[in-house]
Amino acid sequence: MSHSHKVGGMTDQTPAPQSDIPGKPTSASRITLSHIMTHNDTNLLGTVHGGVIMKLVDDAAGAVAGRHSGGPAVTASMDEMAFLEPVGVGDLVHVKAQVNWTGRTSMEVGVRVLAERWNESTPPQQVGSAYLVFAAVDADGKPRRVPPVLPETERDRRRYQEAQIRRTHRLARRRAIVELREKRLAEGFED
């Protein structure tokens, strides 16, 4: 269930609070994780290894998902991890994360990665971004309900709408792959 609002000529879909679980505003779980990069974080080229950045992204997103859902949440998928600029030793990396969208038991967390160069007095530069889907789980690892996210700003509402598009594409891609595999099996091909 969602509420529709007209915003700038477009219909804006924002989540309707579910009667049994009160919604939480986007700002309630937004975080920034900061880390100074060291030689231990580098790859063979001398820049920070992409896997190190991905770990920071997953850590920040997991903290946001746990905070929003009020308990444990596990990474279900990572979409669109983009590395825009290399990160160097000594750079101060800021990983900013927030819940963009919620379903019944899952959440999309958007993450922006910024870096402040150790030898420059310039503002932080965006060096990466990612979208992760987390599933809230109980003590037995079973899915549990999450509060709806309540976008607060126009940027939050835009992110919510974009997250819905990504979800639709994820589900359509998954269906298309399953259909292709079933067709190939019916034709006698094995994986």
Q: Which tens digits make up the pLDDT trace of 121-172?
A: 889 999 999 999 999 999 999 999 999 999 999 999 999 999 999 999 999 9
What pairs with residue 77 in β-bridges? 133
Q: Which of 130, 125, 128, 59 is CA-nearest to residue 92?
A: 125
Percent residues over pLDDT 90 in the chain: 82
**Is the model's pLDDT at 19 over the cut of 60?**
no
Could you tell me the residue ranges of all domains in the chain? 24-187
CATH 3.30.413.10 fits domain 24-187: no
Integer Cα distance of 92 and 163 in angstroms: 28
Integer Cα distance of 5 and 11 in angstroms: 6
CA distances to 6, 170, 171 from 182, in Å: 42, 18, 17
The pair of structure tokens assigned to 72 is 């444990």
Integer Cα distance of 84 and 88 in angstroms: 13
CB-CB contact of 96 with 64 (8 Å): no
Residue with tokens 């030689």: 39
Residue type, 162: E
**67-71: average pLDDT:** 97
CB-CB contact of 144 with 105 (8 Å): yes
**Is the model's pLDDT at 15 over the cut of 80?**
no
Q: What is residue 87's predicted lDDT score, i.e. its pLDDT?
A: 96
Residue type, 39: H
**Is the model's pLDDT at 11 over the cut of 90?**
no
CA distances to 34, 106, 111 from 13, in Å: 33, 18, 21
pTM higher than 0.75 = yes
Burial class of residue 174 in the structure, from the number of CB atoms within 10 Å of its CB (0-12 exposed, 13-18 middle, 19+ buried): exposed
Per-residue pLDDT reduced to its tens digit, 93-116: 999 999 999 999 999 999 999 999
